[in-house]
Amino acid sequence: MAEGQQGMSTPMALLITTLAGFVMLLIYIMVLPVIGGTVESTMPASAPDSAWNSTYNTALPKASDIYTNNMPIIAACIAFIFLGLLFFFLRGMIL
């Protein structure tokens, strides 16, 4: 390996890469509702007796409900990944 090219060999490089991924995930989580709201508001009108018309079929879930119901699960998975990385990092420091 050339001098100055360590890749993921140091714990600090792993930490910086993980932090960059976390920031990208936060940006994605903040932008996704804006895009979803725009898509929902631009949908064409359905026929009055269509199964996809929310006034005719009141049991249709909203996209925002699905997003808010699934975000805690996704956040818990992300937290477990970061805890695993933390334990991996601390184990490397101790041993």
Residue 11 falls inside a structural domain? no
Q: At 23, list the tokens.
A: 């920031």
**Residue 81 belongs to what domain range?**
65-95
Residue 2 falls inside a structural domain? no
Confidence band (pLDDT; 50, 70, 90) for 66?
A: confident
Residue 22 falls inside a structural domain? no
Please classify residue 65 by burial: count the beta carbons closer than 10 Å to its beta carbon, then call 0-12 exposed, 13-18 middle and 19+ buried.
Answer: exposed
Question: Count of domains in the chain?
Answer: 1
Nearest to 39, CA basis, from 15, 67, 18? 67
Do residues 49 and 56 make contact, with C-beta atoms less than 8 angstroms apart?
Answer: yes
The whole model's pTM is what? 0.48
Confidence band (pLDDT; 50, 70, 90) for 93?
A: low
Do residues 95 and 68 make contact, with C-beta atoms less than 8 angstroms apart?
Answer: no
Please state the length of the chain. 95
Task: Answer yes or no: is pLDDT of 23 > 70.
Answer: yes
